[in-house]
Amino acid sequence: MDIRDKRILEALQEDATLPVADLADRVGLSTSACWRRIKALEEDGLIARRVALIDRRKTNVAMTVFVGVRTSRHSMAWLDAFRKVIQGIPEIVEAYRLTGDMDYLLRLVVPSVEVYDAVYKKMISEVDFTDVTSFISMEELKYTTAVPLRYA
Mean pLDDT of all residues in 63-86: 95
- 3-43 CATH pick, 1.10.10.10, 3.30.1360.200, 1.20.58.110, 1.20.1250.20: 1.10.10.10
Residue 19, pLDDT score:
96
Mean pLDDT of all residues in 121-134: 95
Residue 96 φ then ψ, to 5°: -135, 145
Contact 24, 30 (CB under 8 A): yes
Assess whether pLDDT exceeds 90 at residue 89: yes
* Span(s) in the chain for CATH 1.10.10.10: 3-43
Mean pLDDT of all residues in 103-107: 98
* Span(s) in the chain for CATH 3.30.70.920: 63-136
Q: Which residue has the higher pLDDT, 74 or 116?
A: 116
Assess whether pLDDT exceeds 90 at residue 141: yes
What class has domain 63-136?
alpha beta
Assess whether pLDDT exceeds 90 at residue 73: no
For 8-63, how does the pLDDT look when each residue is reduced to its tens digit (9 = 90+)?
Answer: 999 999 999 999 999 999 999 999 999 999 999 999 999 999 999 999 999 999 99
Mean pLDDT of all residues in 80-103: 97
